[in-house]
Structure 1
Amino acid sequence: MSDASEQREREAAKLTRHEGLGGLEMLAARYRDHAYALHTHPTWVFGVVVAGVEKLRIGRRQHLAPAGSIIIVNPEEPHDGEKGAPAGWAYRTCYPDAALMAEIAEDLELRGLPMFSEGIVQAPELARAFVRAHRLAGKLDQEAAMLVVLSKLAKRFGDGKVRDRASEAGETARRFRLYGELIAADLSAGFDLAHLAAVARVTRFQVIRDFHRAAGMTPGQYLRDHRIRAASALMKTEMPLAEIAVATGFADQSHLTRVFKTIKGLSPGAWRAAA
């Protein structure tokens, strides 16, 4: 077997979208050597490991997720992922947005959008139901099955409360919002700690602490993550990848490609094709 064939055999990723579920993204992937960099999503993440073991950080906690484990990540919660065993891992995930989770919460009569305190849970019957729903070919059947399993996960493991990040962190949250607004205003700009510190009128050390407390990330990880999120949005347009790279602060298209795959698990071209 050639090196290229062996790589295809051990690593593969396919992203699809279900329009009946608000464009719900669903990823089926198998990785041996790929490692996700620390990143966030504006959506929830639900997934089931179907083979092997994944090693991952969710928030500030480290986990090993063997086959059968259900992975749950809240919006904006930093997480990564890599193999937890020599053969790697395979999993199926989906990324429901706030509108879909609000629909589920309303049906369950929850007080707010469900948030989850446990990143890895064991519920064999729900794991099997999730995988079955993920694999269904019929759009209507898949829509119904996925709604049912996500509802059951929210009912069983969600706390039913809206997480108020601003009230939790006080001045840290206020400064963190300021950093975020500054970065979002021009992702192509070069940022350093001294500039962020000067705007917030704090020390560089305080900037580092603010990012750690508010996001669980370094300033550099946060900037890279938001550049990738902006690039992902632009990839749904006709803008060439080289122009997207420059617009979102990457040195060139190859730089964007390298970083994009560490966070999304697919190349920009494969991700754009799925989009």
Structure 2
Amino acid sequence: MSDASEQRERDAARLTRHAGLGGLEMLAARYRDHAYALHTHPTYVFGVVVGGVEKLRIGRRSHLAPAGSIITVNPEDPHDGEKGCASGWAYRTCYPDVVLMREIADDLELPGLPMFAEGILQAPDLARAFVRAHRLAGQALEQEAAMLVVLRELVNRFGDGKGNIHASDGGEAKRRFRLYGELIESDLAAGFDLARLASAAGVSRFQVIRDFHRAACMTPGQYLRDRRIRAASVLMRTDMPLAEIAVATGFADQSHLTRVFKTIKGLSPGAWRAAA
């Protein structure tokens, strides 16, 4: 068996989307050798480990998530993931957007969006219900109802209802970080270095590094890569060729985009695009 064939047997991922839940992305994956690079989502991330152990960082905290664990990640929280045991891990995840989570918060009469203080939760009944709902692919109405019920219960038990992901912070570091982000978003294909960011904010390169660490728990390079992949994901919902998307979002070529995309999304651009 070739190395590529062995890799496919070890790592497998399938992404689906549910139209009735606002295009909710749902991933079923088994990984032995794959490792997620540090990244963020504009959405929430909820998942249940169904086999093995995942080792992951969420924000500044590191976790081990054995089978049966529920994983929760708030929007924009940096996180990664890799095997926590020799056999790797298998899990089912979904990525609810803010609109869906606000609907749930309103139904529960919460004062704001639900935020989750603990990255790993132990609630066996909820974990089982999540997996059951996730497995109802092809049964649209049943899956829609089952997933809404389990997400509502997850929020009801563990969401604090105090979140406002658009809240502003008047601190100088936060203002500088917003400036860095605006500069990067304005031209993702541009070459960036610390000197350019430092000059824009009127600070030293060392201060730029500290600002990214404090505001995003990321290095400037990790943040730039994350934003490029997020922009590429949006363009992949169109019929724009992958080679053109790579150039438009700052990658050297399509192969470079493919390599980085898989470390962030867990599957190839082609497979991700097919699910879209």
Same fold flag (TM > 0.5): yes
How many residues align structurally?
275
1:125-274 matched pairs, under 5 angstroms: 125-137=125-137, 138-163=139-164, 167-168=168-169, 170-274=171-275
- Structure 1 CA distance, aligned partners of 2:129 and 2:165? 31
What SS does structure 1 have at the residue aligned with 2:110?
coil
- Give how far 1:125 is off: 0.3
- Structure 2 CA distance, aligned partners of 1:255 and 1:182? 23
Contact 1:34/1:82 (8 A) holds in 2: yes
- Give how far 1:4 is off: 4.0
Contact 2:59/2:78 (8 A) holds in 1: yes
The residue aligned with 2:24 is: 24
Q: Report the AA paired with residue 84 of structure 1.
A: G
**Unmatched runs of 5 consecutive residues or more in structure 2:** none
- Structure 1 CA distance, aligned partners of 2:33 and 2:147? 30
- Structure 2 CA distance, aligned partners of 1:165 and 1:218? 22
- Give how far 1:164 is off: 5.7
Q: Report the AA paired with residue 228 of structure 2.
A: R
- Structure 2 CA distance, aligned partners of 1:43 and 1:269? 22
4+ residue runs over 6 A deviation: none
What SS does structure 2 have at the residue aligned with 1:16?
strand
- Structure 2 CA distance, aligned partners of 1:188 and 1:2? 36
String of CA shifts for 1:166-186, please: whole Å, max 9, x gaps.
Answer: 555611111111110000000
**Does the alignment pair 1:123 with 2:123?**
yes
The residue aligned with 2:36 is: 36
- Give how far 1:70 is off: 0.3
Q: Report the AA paired with residue 34 of structure 1.
A: H
- Structure 2 CA distance, aligned partners of 1:216 and 1:166? 18
- Structure 2 CA distance, aligned partners of 1:62 and 1:223? 23
Contact 2:45/2:73 (8 A) holds in 1: yes
What SS does structure 1 have at the residue aligned with 2:271?
helix
- Structure 1 CA distance, aligned partners of 2:160 and 2:208? 31
The residue aligned with 2:60 is: 60
- Give how far 1:9 is off: 2.1
The residue aligned with 2:82 is: 82
- Structure 2 CA distance, aligned partners of 1:74 and 1:266? 22
- Structure 2 CA distance, aligned partners of 1:167 and 1:252? 36
- Give how far 1:148 is off: 0.5
CA 1:261–1:170 in 2, change beyond 3 Å: closer, same or farther?
same
**Unmatched runs of 5 consecutive residues or more in structure 1:** none
Q: Report the AA paired with residue 41 of structure 1.
A: H
String of CA shifts for 1:140-191, please: whole Å, max 9, x gaps.
Answer: 0000000000001111111101246755561111111111000000000001
Contact 1:45/1:74 (8 A) holds in 2: yes
The residue aligned with 1:108 is: 108
- Give how far 1:7 is off: 2.5
Q: Report the AA paired with residue 42 of structure 1.
A: P
Aligned alpha-carbon RMSD (Å): 1.2
String of CA shifts for 1:204-225, please: whole Å, max 9, x gaps.
Answer: 1111111111110000000000
CA 1:75–1:251 in 2, change beyond 3 Å: closer, same or farther?
same
- Structure 2 CA distance, aligned partners of 1:161 and 1:260? 33
Q: Report the AA paired with residue 235 of structure 1.
A: M
Contact 1:241/1:253 (8 A) holds in 2: yes
CA 1:210–1:66 in 2, change beyond 3 Å: closer, same or farther?
same
- Structure 2 CA distance, aligned partners of 1:40 and 1:3? 30
Contact 2:169/2:175 (8 A) holds in 1: no
Greater Cα offset, 159-168 or 87-96: 159-168
- Structure 2 CA distance, aligned partners of 1:270 and 1:30? 15
